[in-house]
Amino acid sequence: MAWRSHGTSNETLVQNLAKNNLIKSDRVKDAMLKVDRAHYAPASPYEDCPQPIGHRATISAPHMHASACESLLDYLQPGSKVLDIGSGSGYLTAVLANLVAPNGSVIGIDHIQPLVDMGKQNMQKSEEGRRMLDSGAG
């Protein structure tokens, strides 16, 4: 059903993921609604497929991010601490930070410094992302 989940905006993408039962919980839906993929995927951000982000890396398809969050949801409680290894564009790091808020923390790491820099720049594109960086939650 992932191929049917494309949207024309972040909101329609997330709604379609939920409609196709790829997002099952309101917590994951709300966390993904707060993070606009357009700030993290350089082209076609609302297509439900992986997108190249440079340096031979991709941002995973939205249904994969939804699946990861749904699978880990019992562990992603407010106040939890999360390590996002291979954080790339920073998208999943930001979604995870929403899931462990308030008082939780997420650290995103990547072995490619330009992707670390990109992730920081991407988070700066939204007020929510700037707050996460300022508080050390992203």
Residues labelled as active-site residues: 60
Residue matched to tokens 């191929």: 3
Q: Are 70 and 85 in contact (CB under 8 A)?
A: no
Residue matched to tokens 């909101």: 11
Buried b / exposed e over 113-137, threshold 16 CB at 10 Å, is eebbebbeebbeebebbeebbeeeb
Q: Are 108 and 86 in contact (CB under 8 A)?
A: no
Q: Where on the phi/psi map is residue 78: left (φ > 0), alpha (ψ -120 to 50), or beta? A: beta
d(CA 32, CA 45): 13
